Every structure is written in C-alpha cells, then in structure tokens.
Structure 1
Amino acid sequence: MTKVAIIAGGLSGMGLASAKRLLADGVTVCIGARRGADAAVVAELHEKLGTPVFVDKLDVRDTASVEAFVARVAEKYGRVDILLNTAGVYEEAPVIGHPDEMWDAHIDTNLTGSFKMIRAVMPLMKAQGWGRIINLASTAAHEGLENNVAYCTSKAGLLGLGRCVSLEGAAHGITCVSISPTWVETEMLKSFVDAETAETGLPRAEVQAKYEASNPQNKLVQPEEIADLVAFLTSDAARAITMEDIKVNAATNW
C-alpha cells in the first residue's frame, strides 16, 4: 500500500528536501502552500522534484483553507498517512515595541497553523489506525534568543502541542514528534547571509563562515540531513518514537 504524505510549506528548504526523499521511498507526496495555485510556481516545483505531484493552495492560518486542502487530498487518494508541518515565518523584533502583526503572524502560522493541520488529518489517521505527524520546530524552541520573542514562543509551543497529540494518537497508531534543527542551509538562511553581506560590506564568504562557525562542527546542517530523519520517523521502524523532540544541533548549545 502506497503511503500518502501532506507537506505544508514544501516549496523550498527542508520541506522540499523531504518531498524529494519521500518520493524516492515511493510515498505519494501532496504539497500545500500559499502560492500553491500559481502555475509558474507549480511548474518550477515539479522541475525541482523531477516528477509531477499534487500541489494546491493552502493557507495554514485559515481553517477553511486547511479543511478544504485535506479534503481534496483525501478525496483524490483515499487516505492521509503522513503530515509534515514545515510552513513557517521568521522575523526579529525586541519585546519592547514589538508589533502585534508580527506576533500574530508567527503564532498563527508556526503554531496555530500546525495545530489546524493536525486537527484536520487526525480523524483520517485514526480511522486507518496509522499515522505519522512531524512538526518542524527549532533549537529556538529550547532557548531564548534576544529579539526573537515571537519565533521562539511559536516554536516552543510546538513541543507542547506534540505532547498532547502524541497522547491522543497513541492508542490509534498515530505518532507525533518534532525536529529542532540549528542553522540549516536553506533559502531563508541564504537570504540572511545576503542581507548581512549587503549591510556590512563584508565578503559573502566571510559572513557565511560566521554562520558555519556558530555550529561547533563548523558546518551548516543540510536540508537533506533533515529529510533523511523525516524518512525514518515516518516509517514503520519509528512506531515507538513519539512525544519526542529531536534536536539536530551540530553540537550547539542553543
């Protein structure tokens, strides 16, 4: 039986790498994203994946959008076995003077969006007696970072969410775990390097090296490394791994 996976926010980064890995394992991959109805975006995604997959518009902040997306997947494939929540936003601001809209964007997307996706797929997984749910958290879920209050709070909330989902799913073959990476060499991180390069005038290689040096291994985590972990956690071999957060921290302390 072919497993069916939903990846929320799978157009780039760790979501895209996970899509590639799951496809290689024979999983049917369905990707939802805010730009999922843009024909040009879909064509580019299919080119990156090397094969067509189900892609559609999904706004995880919106209950109607979430329920409609999951319903379309269930109608097309008859089941949902795997949910990978990677949709997220990141902006920095101090607590004092922190904009409401920035706070709301982080909580609504990173935390509440993951909850809404889980709420929509769990009945299907319960009926099947099998399910794998993975939330993409962060090492920031475990540590406070200056000027990162909204991001840290939203990611920390995923850990509590996962514990509750694990308890409710345990008797029905549903697991729920989170993955907390340190710096991963994604498009988002590359944009940080580009911005800092432009702001400081330093050579890009020097700025890149600073991010690499923040990991004691002196190397950024690669999206494919996260994807390999996702593949294991969504397999039958990971049946007993639930209510857990797995740090991929390259020996960092944060």
Structure 2
Amino acid sequence: MTKVAIITGGLSGMGLATAQRLLVAGTTVCIGARRGGDPKAVADLHARLGKQVDVAKLDVRDSASVAEFVENVAKKHGSVDILINTAGVYDEAPVIDHPDALWDDTIDTNLTGSFKMIRAVMPLMKAQEWGRIINLASTAAHEGLENNVAYCTSKAGLLGLGRCVSLEGAAYGITCVSISPTWVETEMLKSFVDQETIETGLPRAEIQARYESSNPQGALVQPSEIAELIAFLVSDAGRAITMEDIKVNAATNW
C-alpha cells in the first residue's frame, strides 16, 4: 500500500530533497511549513514537484496548528505512516546576554516542535502497528560551538527525544532515528556564504571553498544524499534501525 509521509519544513533544503526522493518511491507526500499558506511558495513547490504534493500552513511551535495539520492529513489519506522533522531555525548569540526570544524560538521550533509532531502522529502509527520517524539533528548535537548555545541545545535534545520515542514505539513497529549531518549545501548555508561575502569583501568562491575544505572529503554534503539515507530508513528495510543517531560527517570530527 502507498505510504503517507509528513515532512515539516519541506519547502527547501533537506526537506525538499526528501520530498522529491519519496515521490520517486511512490510515497504520498504532505508538506507542512510556516510558509505553507503563502500562495507563491506553494506555486513554486508545485512547479518543482507537481500538484500531487499536499502543502499547508503548519507552525510546529503551536499545538493547535500541529493537531489540525495531522488530523487533515489523516482524514484525506487515511493514515500517517512516516514523519520527517526537518523544520528548523538557526541564529547565533553568546550565552551572556542571550535574548530570550531567540532561545525560545530555537528550542520551540527545533526541539519542542519535533516533539509535538511526534506526539500527534504516534497514536495513528500505534493503531496501525507501523511507523517511521526521522528527526534532523546535526553534528552540533554532539559538539559545543561558540555563540551557538540555543542551536546546539535544541539539536542535542533531539537525541534524547528519539531514544524515548524508540522505546515506546518498538512494540508497535514504530522506529525513530535521528540524522546528524555536517555542513549540507542548503539554502541556509548559501545564506551564510552570502553574508560572509558581504562582511569580509572576499570573493564568494573563496568563502564557499572554506566551507568545503572544512570537511576532510573536501566537499559539502548534498541534500540529495540525506534524502537517500532517509528513503532507506523509512522503508521496510529500516525496521531494525531505531534509537540511533547517524552522523553524516564527511570525515569531519565535529
């Protein structure tokens, strides 16, 4: 039977690449994002992936928004088999004088939002005795980074969340795995390169090369590579892989 997947934050980056890959596998894809109610964003996505992809507004920070989104997917498609939490935000600030708003938005989106999505879909997965949950963490879940306290904390929290979900879901065929990539060439990373180009006045190619050389392989991880891994993990072949965090680190130590 056709599986039904929810992808949070699937309008760009790894979420979008995963949507593309799952469509190839015949999966029904439902994308939820804060910009999911923006007609232009939806039109752009449909132009890229086709109108068979459901897109709707979803704020993972808001329990009512989460409940409504999941309920609508289940009513329309009859089930929710796969949840891929890729919605995330990133901003920098030191611990001293760290703004409350930045902390709250980062934790609420990256960590609590993932929890709320899992909480909403698990009863459906339990009833059908099959489910796959993927959380996009980061190598920042394993290492501290100066001026990145909120981001590192949010991603580290996903590892603990995944362990608990794995234990509670194991008897019902539900798996939960996190993926911790190093630098991936997403829109977010491209914005970092653009900003550093402006701030330093150096050629963009030089800034890009710095990010690439930070990986011993000498190249950035591509969103499609993460999508291929996810496609395997959410398949029947991924049944026994749970309570795990998989680093996609291109041989870097962080």
TM-score range normalised by the length of the shorter chain? over 0.9
The answer to whether the aligner puts 1:46 opposite 2:42 as a matched pair is no
Q: CA deviation at 1:50?
A: 3.5
Provide the residue aligned with 2:225 in structure 1. Answer: 225
Describe the SS at the equivalent of 1:36: helix
The equivalences for 1:112-123 within 5 A come to 112-123=112-123
2-structure distance, mates of 1:179, 1:246: 5
Describe the SS at the equivalent of 1:60: coil
Describe the SS at the equivalent of 2:37: coil
Describe the SS at the equivalent of 1:144: coil
Q: CA deviation at 1:60?
A: 0.1
Structure 1 runs of 4+ aligned residues shifted over 2 Å read none
Relative to the length of structure 2, the TM-score reads 0.99
Provide the residue aligned with 1:245 in structure 2. Answer: 245
Name the aligned partner's letter for residue 33 of structure 2.
Answer: A
The equivalences for 1:1-254 within 5 A come to 1-254=1-254
* Mean CA deviation greater in 205-214 or 50-59: 50-59
1-structure distance, mates of 2:50, 2:221: 24
Relative to the length of structure 1, the TM-score reads 0.99
Q: CA deviation at 1:48?
A: 1.5
Describe the SS at the equivalent of 1:250: coil
Q: Per-residue displacement from partner, 1:24-78 (whole Å, max 9, x unpaired)?
A: 0000000000111111111100112144311101000000000000000000000
1-structure distance, mates of 2:50, 2:58: 22
2-structure distance, mates of 1:223, 1:51: 22
Name the aligned partner's letter for residue 182 of structure 2.
Answer: T
Q: Per-residue displacement from partner, 1:177-205 (whole Å, max 9, x unpaired)?
A: 00000000000000000000011000000
Describe the SS at the equivalent of 1:219: coil
Describe the SS at the equivalent of 1:68: helix
2-structure distance, mates of 1:46, 1:220: 27
2-structure distance, mates of 1:107, 1:12: 20
2-structure distance, mates of 1:179, 1:48: 25
Describe the SS at the equivalent of 2:145: coil
